[in-house]
Amino acid sequence: MSMLRYVDRRNTDCFKWDGLENTFSRSDLLAMWVADMDFQVPECVRRRLADYIELGTFGYYNPPEGYYNAFIEWERRYHGYEVKKDWMRFAPGVVPAFNWLVQMMSGEGEAVAVMPPVYYPFMNAVKNNDRRLVNCPLILTDDGYVMDYEGFEEAIVREDVKVFIFCSPHNPVGRVWKREEIRRMLDICKRHKVFVISDEIHHDLIMSGHEHVPSATVGDEPGAYDDMLVTLTAATKTFNLAAVQNSIVIIPDEGIRAKWDKFAEGIRISGGNSFGYIAVQAAYEEGRPWFEELLGIIEGNYKYLRDRFGAELPEARIADHQGTYLLWADFSAYMDRIIAKAAEKYSVDPDAEDAAVTAMQHLMEDECGLAFDYGAWFGGNEYAGCVRINLATCRENIETAAERIIASLKA
């Protein structure tokens, strides 16, 4: 019997489904955006939270040793990373954490680098904190996206970059970085005294044939990069626990920990709510069988889309999906017909600078009735032909999305 149960989340105050109106100005789309799942969380999480609710007292909570031990054991067993309890700090989410670290490790007007196409809250963190955004784009090759090491180092020197926000595995292109790739990037940062924030929130969601390598473990000696690196992760993506707001900041270096603790004291956020601690501990202790079934569903959904698009839309470029449950699909080869249709039907000016962006919105929303995270959100108009597709849903939704896109582009 399957441990995963699909939940129709409409009319449950769900941002992904009930928040469509705010982002897309309509509520009747098939929601394939936002990085959360449409599956009920593991039974062990529901049971422990139910027991806590039955207890009926919700005063101040003291996280038990079991919470820390559950995470430490998970990292050791599944990622070979020996984390110590003293290194662990709390954040209500990975996004707040990297915003805080940008504030801590750089000054106003100083440069922070990212590698687009990349998770757009990275760019927001730079701009909203009055830092200077430096884009160091990934290079698209016949073998997929790779880091442009020479361009990255040149930009660091030219712009005097102070902080780099690294995404591993990469969201949205789905790359699982190899050890030598991470080490080469970190060596560049070390040479130029760049502080690295390694966002590894998707680090469990790795497809067969690939292995996540924690950035902190790639040195020839243990702790080789500890004085310039902080790792962010959570059970959020692994077990669909975003609502309990519990993320983990791993800070091996004593000096950086002191900076974090001083900052946390200033904003009076050093711990989270009891529900988050209980849910995360339960998931790490007992949720592995549920998670392994989830991986099979995600990989199956990816292969279905890859094969369907490959057969029906052979010019579409579907990223080699190595990690995360987010698929990067590039329909740029069909952009001329997409724009032509939008010009004819929706009066889009084909010569406008944002014609491709607007045409993709009309295609996906008005023609297909689908809600995706658009490629332009992840780095600008050059990615307008791309969409990020959430694979953590039922096969029926995946099939419906594929059929609508194929029918529209072939029409």
d(CA 356, CA 335): 7
Angle at 127 between CA 122 and CA 133, to 5 degrees: 75
Kindly list the distances between the CA atom of residue 240 and the CA atoms of 64, 90, 217, 343, in Å, as whole numbers in the listed order. Answer: 22, 18, 26, 40
d(CA 41, CA 170): 24
Supply the pLDDT for residue 89: 98
d(CA 5, CA 46): 13
Supply the pLDDT for residue 411: 85
Contact between residue 203 and residue 233 where contact means Cβ atoms under 8 Å apart? yes
DSSP 3-state assignment of 89? strand
Supply the pLDDT for residue 184: 98
d(CA 206, CA 228): 26
Contact between residue 63 and residue 271 where contact means Cβ atoms under 8 Å apart? yes
Q: Determine the straight-line distance between the first and last CA of the chain, rounded to whole angstroms.
A: 41
d(CA 67, CA 105): 28
State how far Cα 117 lies from the chain centre.
12
CA atoms within 13 Å, Cβ hemisphere of 357: 14
Q: Checking DSSP bridges between strand 144-146 and strand 139-141, what pairing results, if any? A: antiparallel
Q: Which residues of the chain have pLDDT under 70?
A: none
DSSP secondary structure letter of residue 75: H
Q: Which residue reads 């990069």 in tokens?
A: 225
Domains and CATH numbers, the chain: 15-41+289-410 (3.90.1150.10), 46-286 (3.40.640.10)
Kindly list the distances between the CA atom of residue 223 and the CA atoms of 22, 24, 218, 290, in Å, as whole numbers in the listed order. Answer: 45, 45, 9, 33
Q: Is 144 left (phi over 0), alpha (psi -120 to 50) or beta?
A: left
Q: What is the pLDDT of residues 290-319, one digit of tens each?
A: 999 999 999 999 999 999 999 999 999 999
DSSP 3-state assignment of 164? strand
DSSP per-residue codes, 329-346: EE-GGGHHHHHHHHHHHH
Cβ neighbors of 208 (< 8 A, separation 6 or more) are 299
Cβ neighbors of 69 (< 8 A, separation 6 or more) are none
**Claim: this prediction has a pTM higher than 0.95:** yes
**Would you mind telling me the total number of residues written for the chain in this entry?**
411
Q: What is the pLDDT of residues 21-60, one digit of tens each?
A: 999 999 999 999 999 999 999 999 999 999 999 999 999 9
DSSP 3-state assignment of 52? helix
Please, what's the b/e burial string for 222-248 (b: 16 or more CB within 10 A of its CB; e: otherwise)?
Answer: eebbbebbbbbbbbbbbbbbbebbbbb
Supply the pLDDT for residue 303: 98
